[in-house]
A and B are shown apart, each in its own frame.
Chain A
Amino acid sequence: MAVLVDKDTRLLVQGITGKSGSFHTQQCMEYGTNVVAGVTPGRAGETFEDKVPVFDTVKEARAKAECNATMIFVPPAFAADSILEAIDAEIEVVIAITEGIPVMDMMRVKAAAAHSKSVLIGPNCPGIITPGACKIGIMPGYIHNPGRIGVISRSGTLTYEAVWQITSAGLGQSTCIGIGGDPIHGMTHQEAAQLFTEDPDTDAFILIGEIGGTEEEEAAAWIKENCDKPVAAFIAGATAPPGRRMGHAGAIISGGKGTAEAKKEALLDAGIAVSESPSDMGATLIKHMGA
């Protein structure tokens, strides 16, 4: 057992017929993910790759294909609506890959989803993978290896770095969760840390943060009080100029808040091993696990 997704996950893809949507659905299927349905309004009755039925609505897909997770590839202007549709259909895990959703849209989505039955991951994230069992998202599958280390990250490619380092060291990952680079998003660092802390199949985990916001500090405070597992962390953006948005909508130091320095300090104070270089994320955790 890992967290959130495993071999029993039945995946729906919203935006399955689009360019990225179809490419990555194919990749997920090759990895072994059980893709059971797709949604593209107006394209019901078609099949994707000759085996996955396409539906007009999520509600219909849920009823006929019994999906319990969804991966959203819908373009930014319509993505908030797709997230709401998935939540309304009570899909358990909603993974939004789409980058560039307006902040106002996400504020409304979060307010509307406050009491929903769904867990939202992302948007603007690489997705989630339980190696050897289920890949939902855009991460390259082959860099992963089934194992007992959890990974939580705001950044896509930086997650791949950490994963590759763990795999290259002969270890593996329980689950890797990309929580996304937007200022307002679903699952937080702290919520993900909570899942890994409670998961019997995760021995230790890595938390990858970046400048902007205070989520890393909040996760650190929670870990300090509640988590006995070894945790390592890396924070990107130590050299980023203040007041500039560094690619991710959420990566900005404003009013002196959200600096890499403040985050590292809070993490160290919680007994978390902080890696100074993105090349040492795996090694830092492995050393900390042995200590």
Chain B
Amino acid sequence: MNIHEYQAKALFDKFGVATPRGIAATSGTEALTAAKSLGTTQFVVKAQIHAGGRGKGTFKNGFQGGVHLVDSPEKAQETAEKMLGEVLVTHQTGEDGKLVRQVLIAETIDIEKEYYFAILVDRETERPSIIASREGGVEIEEVAEKHPEKIFKEFVHPTMGLQPYQARKLANQLGFTGKQIRKASSLFLAMYKLFIECDCSMVEVNPLVLTPDGDVLALDAKFGFDDNALFRHPDIAAMRDPEEEDPREVEASKFDLNYIGLDGNIGCMVNGAGLAMSTMDIIKTCGGDPANFLDVGGGATESQVKEAFRILLGDPKVKAILVNIFGGIMQCDVIAQGIINAAKTVDLNIPLIVRLEGTNVEAGRALLNESGLALITAETLADAAQKAVDSVSAA
């Protein structure tokens, strides 16, 4: 799950991470009030969308750039009005662009130097790991590859937490001196607290900046949250913006289905992530293209299967559906009943290929046979994939 920049700022404020002051606005008047309340003369107006590349983006109304520097509250209002309700296209949004419904009005700050700072879960050490570099504002993967010596890493014991000496060590490695050390290390400690208490999978501050006055601030941040932990963070779950996501994925998530939209024309419904991935792989090997990844999960109910089916059929790109179920925790007769119920409520006008194996398979197959549905059955995964690919190319 991703969040907007203004939401990230709110989290920073909550955990005491130093960041330039800013206020979100949904109208020109709100932008004016926001700018006036900041009590300064230089502002930056930023369009709030999840995609990157905002500064170099273009609005569909012809207005250039999703990030603007202005020197009065009135100009902040004027700029906000040109952005709000308009569609911004950047290199990350695709040509459809994203509708801007909020702007952030923030104070501008002078920058002495830029740094990179991130916390993420390191799978190899099974610990939170901090990655920092003096090379800020650039692609960190590139730095890591060309100059690994410029990347500093600190691993944190999961039950001890980040120790103050570790934060000071990082500050020192980044070249902070004197009073800056305390400012930088307290920012690192606050950031770590945020990372743990919000169940983040990643927090990336790029850039972290030093001002000419010796302040250390988080200028921009990217967050990743552990979806499995959202149940204990209703406040963070509420920050989710469905407008920024693939509508098919939003629909699927309402029913706890694991769905990822792709570009092909063979819809897949599979149980188990590994099998779902392999089903995509084998469709490709057979010369076809999967329309999606869809794992109905270990304990899917009949109604979930029905909803999964409805989502697949609702995608106009889908020309055939391949159901591949190997029942373990999931029982084949439950899947079969779900398919039958879904087929009754929707107009099934494309080929449906079904391959069932596992727990209660006989009952499942019997239900399908007795249902009178026109479907193509398959014995093995390879057989099922080939039949699906053939049915699409025959159409």
How many interface residues does A have (CB within 8 Å)?
64
Residues of A contacting B279 in the complex (Cβ-Cβ under 8 angstroms):
278
A222 on interface, CB distance cutoff 8 Å: no
Residues of A contacting B329 in the complex (Cβ-Cβ under 8 angstroms):
20, 24, 126, 138, 156
Q: Given known contacts A157-B274, A164-B357, is B126 in contact with A107 (CB within 8 Å)?
A: yes
Residues of A contacting B282 in the complex (Cβ-Cβ under 8 angstroms):
277-279
Q: Measured between C-beta atoms, what is the minimum distance from A228 to chain B in Å?
A: 27
Q: Measured between C-beta atoms, what is the minimum distance from B39 to chain A in Å?
A: 39
Complex Cα distance A100/B277, Å? Answer: 19
The stretch among B19-27, B59-67, B223-231, B343-351 that forms the contact with chain A is B223-231
Residues of A contacting B123 in the complex (Cβ-Cβ under 8 angstroms):
183-184, 212-214, 250
A140-153: CB near B (< 8 Å → 1, else 0) gives 10010000000001
Contact status B276-A276, CB under 8 Å: no
Residues of B contacting A119 in the complex (Cβ-Cβ under 8 angstroms):
none
Complex Cα distance A160/B359, Å? Answer: 11
Contact status B272-A158, CB under 8 Å: yes
Closest to B294 in A: A247
B295 on interface, CB distance cutoff 8 Å: yes
A211 on interface, CB distance cutoff 8 Å: yes
B328 on interface, CB distance cutoff 8 Å: yes
Contact status A210-B277, CB under 8 Å: yes
Interface positions of B from 191 to 249, Cβ below 8 Å from A: 196, 199, 201, 226-229, 231-232
Residues of B contacting A255 in the complex (Cβ-Cβ under 8 angstroms):
141
Residues of A contacting B380 in the complex (Cβ-Cβ under 8 angstroms):
279
Q: Size range of the interface on B?
A: 35 or more
- Cβ-neighbour of A138 out of B158, B201, B284, B298 (below 8 A): B298
Complex Cα distance A155/B327, Å? Answer: 13
Complex Cα distance A194/B262, Å? Answer: 38
B343-376: CB near A (< 8 Å → 1, else 0) gives 0000000000000011100000000000000000
A214-256: CB near B (< 8 Å → 1, else 0) gives 1000000000000000000010111111001111111100011
Q: Given known contacts A140-B359, A237-B281, A278-B278, is B272 in contact with A157 (CB within 8 Å)?
A: yes
Residues of B contacting A291 in the complex (Cβ-Cβ under 8 angstroms):
none
Contact status A236-B281, CB under 8 Å: yes
Contact status B228-A100, CB under 8 Å: yes
- Cβ-neighbour of B273 out of A20, A76, A77, A251 (below 8 A): A251
Residues of A contacting B229 in the complex (Cβ-Cβ under 8 angstroms):
102-105
B373-395: CB near A (< 8 Å → 1, else 0) gives 00000001110000000000000
Interface positions of A from 80 to 120, Cβ below 8 Å from B: 99-108, 110-112
A208 on interface, CB distance cutoff 8 Å: yes
B150 on interface, CB distance cutoff 8 Å: no
Contact status A246-B228, CB under 8 Å: no
Closest to B299 in A: A20
Contact status B126-A111, CB under 8 Å: yes
A181 on interface, CB distance cutoff 8 Å: yes
Residues of B contacting A184 in the complex (Cβ-Cβ under 8 angstroms):
121, 123, 126
Q: Given known contacts A103-B121, A157-B275, is B260 in contact with A246 (CB within 8 Å)?
A: yes
Complex Cα distance A183/B55, Å? Answer: 35
A8-52: CB near B (< 8 Å → 1, else 0) gives 000000000000100010010000000000000000000000000
Closest to A238 in B: B281
- Seen from chain A, the residues whose Cβ lies within 8 Å of a Cβ on chain B are 20, 24, 27, 76-77, 99-108, 110-112, 126, 138-140, 143, 153-161, 164, 181, 183-184, 208, 210-214, 234, 236-241, 244-251, 255-256, 276-280
Closest 10 A/B residue pairs (Cβ): A155-B274, A247-B273, A157-B272, A102-B229, A279-B382, A158-B274, A157-B275, A278-B278, A247-B295, A138-B329
Question: Can you spell out 27 A-B residue pairs with CB atoms less than 8 angstroms apart?
Answer: A20-B329, A24-B329, A76-B228, A103-B121, A103-B226, A104-B158, A104-B226, A105-B229, A107-B127, A107-B128, A110-B158, A143-B357, A156-B272, A157-B271, A157-B326, A157-B328, A160-B358, A161-B326, A210-B274, A213-B124, A234-B278, A236-B277, A236-B278, A239-B280, A244-B293, A245-B227, A247-B277
- Seen from chain B, the residues whose Cβ lies within 8 Å of a Cβ on chain A are 121, 123-124, 126-128, 141, 157-159, 196, 199, 201, 226-229, 231-232, 258, 260, 262, 270-282, 284-285, 290, 293, 295, 297-299, 326-329, 357-359, 380-382
- Taking A107-B158, A157-B272, A249-B226 as known contacts, 5 extra A-B pairs with beta carbons closer than 8 A to each other, sorted by chain A number, are A104-B229, A157-B358, A208-B274, A234-B278, A248-B274
